[in-house]
Structure 1
Amino acid sequence: MITHLLQSAPSILDNDFYKFTMQQAVVRLFPSAMARYSFINRGKHRFPEGFGSALQERISEMAKLRLTNEEKNFLKINCPYLDPLYLDFLAGYRYDPNEVNIVQNGTDIDLHIEGHWYRSILWEVPIMALICELYYEMTDGKRISDEMLIDQTVVKAKRFQSLGVNIAEFGTRRRHSYHVQKLVIDTFNREGRKTFVGTSNVHFAMLHQTKPIGTHAHEWFMYHAAVYGFPQANATSLQHWVDVFRGDLGIALSDTYTTDVFLSQFDKMFSKLFDGVRQDSGKPIEFADKIIAHYNQLGIDPLTKIIIFSDGLDYEKVARITDHCRGKIGFSFGIGTNLSNDVGLEAMNIVIKMTQTRQENGKWMHVVKLSDNPDKNTGNADMIAAAKTILNIEQ
């Protein structure tokens, strides 16, 4: 079992970059905050007998992972906004498997994470990657060969390169396996140098000596909504981000409480200070038009800003978005499952989301997300209804 683990999680940096950037912000601003996360099986996948115990065993092995001196030096050189105090903290960080509880009921998995937010924040992505890898192992899914995977990745790289666009790999959380993700990134980096700009996976970014890509995720805004109230959630989240990173990591996630609500608080100061926004739900062309109109209304040239598109992308979507946005606004793409899990098997549709937070000596509070795509809404139903009422969201 350890052999499998070392293949799927060889490094504590085998995680999305925004988990580390958010962790620094949480350590700095909210060291006493607690968090709970839950697994959501959107695809109704049926897990085989013994899956829960096998997953728990692999998670237990993660306690052995630690930041090496080489990894610390990589972060110090390539990510100067990660301060020395945080890097020293990360060097001493160890996963605590006691924060993760797994129960298997037939073919269903009940998985919950609970702990201080600054600690539990790192679990989500590697656990999702482990779930996917273990699922394909235990269901004996027959993927395409390495040779076929390399060939199709070469074709993808050449097609994206022909569009003259920037592509980043965002596929860690739902990858087929560590091996497949590594092979895809290696191939894309070699064959698509004019289009491939890097990866959100910090471990693979280090292997290729490139800067990791990412800023923050929905949970950053969800926490702020619970603590500071829905009307102030976006503005307070952005201000706290600026307080920590002072202008670095300037791509703002826009759809935690719908893009329309976000833009109502993305005023001229924030619009000038942040380099751009990330689109993660809804219709990308409509989103682009909204963002362009927003910048124009504020007297900001949209061509000085950028949209990172990252929602379920493939070549056809990228081509349509490119054709629409070129000459109007800067744009780039983060592609996940279509790169890291396009192997001839059904890609898993799973998420792990923050569900509650608690302040020191306080009560647990529900956190929710109201996406531009209502199917992606997550959280307590009563709290979702309250948020819609308070924010005048009609879905």
Structure 2
Amino acid sequence: MIITSLLDTDLYKFTMMQVVLHHFPAAEVEYRYKCRNKGIDLRPYVDEIRDEIAGLCRLRFQEQELAYLGSMRFFKSDFIDFLSLFHLQQKYISVQPSAADNGEIDITVKGPWLHTILFEVPVLAIVNEVYFRATQAAPDHAEGRKRLQDKMALIRDNPAMAGCKVADYGTRRRFSRSWHEEVVQTLQRDFAQHLVGTSNVHFAMKYGMTPLGTMAHEYLQACQSLGPRLRDSQIYGFEMWAKEYRGDLGIALSDVYGMAAFLRDFDLYFCKLFDGARHDSGDPFEWGERLIKHYQDNRVDPSTKTLVFSDSLDFGKVNELYLRFKDRTRVAFGVGTNLTNDLGYTPLQIVMKMVRCNGQPVAKLSDTPSKNMCDDQAYLNYLRQVFEIAEPVAAAS
């Protein structure tokens, strides 16, 4: 089996799941999968993917895993009790060859949010590993190790990067579970002074690392349906988060409606309440400058806040961003695909996004239009109007 532990996922799945248990236990949602690569034929692997998902659905949380989660101060005992009874159920997920007959596959997850939220990350990891073990029967691990050493040296051997902190965010698009584990072990051994933790809860437990993560796009998207008014859905999401965690897990996600809409909602109260924000689309340098100015305009010292960068990072970009902002604010970096799927092969750009909540369409309108995913154009247009988001400018032909 590819997935052997329900902890083999990102921490923010559990932090969001606790909010769902306590505040939205009846919410019904739908997720859809998409591969952004062109010309990838995944149809031959449908049966194998289904078999791996069946294995995933047989897993239960072990006592030591529950004890580990329970040791984190922000998880409450009733949530741990719920997890002791939890398992993923196959009736909520469907994997089929695409009806468009274009080589793609359709993966749909539909059911109670509380019982489906943990599908996304392991299912994407399964698709990745099934594909790469079929197409790369003899992986070039030596090349991967060389690339990893070169990346670490770029930061480790530069005195100007002494304070740079990097985390592993690479679970969902990793080459394989075993390669991910080797990367984590190598980082611990050769990059310890710069390694701040991992988003993967299983490896955090196994290797004594700090698990990292707060919220993902699906949480703020769901609030479009669950909140009292669409225009206030981002504010509502942040307020509910603060109500649940009372100061813990204080990094806000900034790109569900784009940076301009985020800054309009992220007022003095939120500037003081949250520890910082996470970038996940658009120009990271522009984002950092705008957020620093926003803090200054709200009479908040940017040097007390943390800017987390996590959008398609490589170590060269980490280097540039750190040198740009290190003397003005706290900065941290989550590197995903470039860490755990860089052996010389083109990674799969696969995602699984929430598209509906309680029967209503939900969407994000990020500063990178290609990251948007919604099946209702009328709703997207309405969302742009409500949040004062201009239509993206079409590229010149």
Name the TM tier (shorter chain): over 0.9
| Aligned mates of 1:221, 1:45 — CA distance in 2 | 32
What do the CA deviations read for 1:110-141 (whole angstroms, capped 9, x no partner)?
11001100111110010000000001122245
- Which consecutive aligned stretches of 4+ in structure 1 deviate over 3 angstroms post-superposition? none
What do the CA deviations read for 1:269-289 (whole angstroms, capped 9, x no partner)?
111110000000000110000
In the TM superposition, what is the alpha-carbon distance from 1:46 to its structure 2 partner?
A: 2.4
In the TM superposition, what is the alpha-carbon distance from 1:48 to its structure 2 partner?
A: 4.5
Amino acid corresponding to residue 381 of structure 1 in structure 2: Q
Query: Judging changes above 3 Å, is the alpha-carbon distance between structure 1 residues 138 and 303 closer, same or farther for their aligned structure 2 residues?
Result: same
Q: Give the match for residue 248 of structure 2.
A: 248
**Larger displacement relative to structure 2 (252-261 or 314-323):** 314-323
Q: Give the match for residue 395 of structure 2.
A: none
Q: Give the match for residue 311 of structure 1.
A: 311
Residue pair 1:55, 1:134 contacting (<8 A) in 2 also:
yes
Q: Give the match for residue 147 of structure 2.
A: 152
User: Would you say 1:287 and 2:301 are equivalent positions?
Assistant: no
Q: Give the match for residue 363 of structure 2.
A: 368
Amino acid corresponding to residue 391 of structure 1 in structure 2: F
* TM superposition score normalised by structure 2: 0.94
In the TM superposition, what is the alpha-carbon distance from 1:206 to its structure 2 partner?
A: 0.6
Q: Give the match for residue 357 of structure 1.
A: 357
Q: Report how many residues are paired.
A: 382
User: Would you say 1:17 and 2:16 are equivalent positions?
Assistant: no
What do the CA deviations read for 1:323-382 (whole angstroms, capped 9, x no partner)?
210211110100000000001111001110001111xxxxx1000110011121111221
| Aligned mates of 2:132, 2:81 — CA distance in 1 | 36
Q: Give the match for residue 267 of structure 1.
A: 267
| Aligned mates of 1:257, 1:142 — CA distance in 2 | 43
| Aligned mates of 2:223, 2:42 — CA distance in 1 | 38
Amino acid corresponding to residue 90 of structure 2 in structure 1: P
Q: Where do residues 64-213 of structure 1 align in structure 2 (5 Å cutoff)? A: 64-77=58-71, 79-105=72-98, 106=101, 107-140=103-136, 142-145=138-141, 147-161=142-156, 162=158, 163-164=161-162, 165-213=164-212
Residue pair 1:48, 1:139 contacting (<8 A) in 2 also:
no
Residue pair 1:45, 1:348 contacting (<8 A) in 2 also:
no
Residue pair 2:143, 2:344 contacting (<8 A) in 1 also:
no
In the TM superposition, what is the alpha-carbon distance from 1:45 to its structure 2 partner?
A: 4.6
Residue pair 2:147, 2:343 contacting (<8 A) in 1 also:
no
Can you give the 5+ residue segments of structure 2 that lack an aligned partner in the other structure? 393-397
In the TM superposition, what is the alpha-carbon distance from 1:80 to its structure 2 partner?
A: 1.2
Residue pair 1:154, 1:188 contacting (<8 A) in 2 also:
no
| Aligned mates of 1:324, 1:220 — CA distance in 2 | 31
Can you give the 5+ residue segments of structure 1 that lack an aligned partner in the other structure? 359-363
What do the CA deviations read for 1:141-192 (whole angstroms, capped 9, x no partner)?
54312x4433432332232233220000001011111011101010011101
Percent identical among aligned pairs is 34
Amino acid corresponding to residue 215 of structure 1 in structure 2: T
| SS of 2:332 mapped into structure 1 | strand
| Aligned mates of 2:331, 2:39 — CA distance in 1 | 34
User: Would you say 1:384 and 2:380 are equivalent positions?
Assistant: yes
Residue pair 1:170, 1:335 contacting (<8 A) in 2 also:
yes
Residue pair 1:101, 1:113 contacting (<8 A) in 2 also:
yes
* TM superposition score normalised by structure 1: 0.94
| Aligned mates of 1:83, 1:233 — CA distance in 2 | 25
| Aligned mates of 2:189, 2:316 — CA distance in 1 | 22
Residue pair 2:4, 2:56 contacting (<8 A) in 1 also:
no
Amino acid corresponding to residue 341 of structure 2 in structure 1: N
Q: Give the match for residue 343 of structure 2.
A: 343
| Aligned mates of 2:179, 2:110 — CA distance in 1 | 30
| SS of 1:182 mapped into structure 2 | helix
Query: Judging changes above 3 Å, is the alpha-carbon distance between structure 1 residues 140 and 254 closer, same or farther for their aligned structure 2 residues?
Result: same
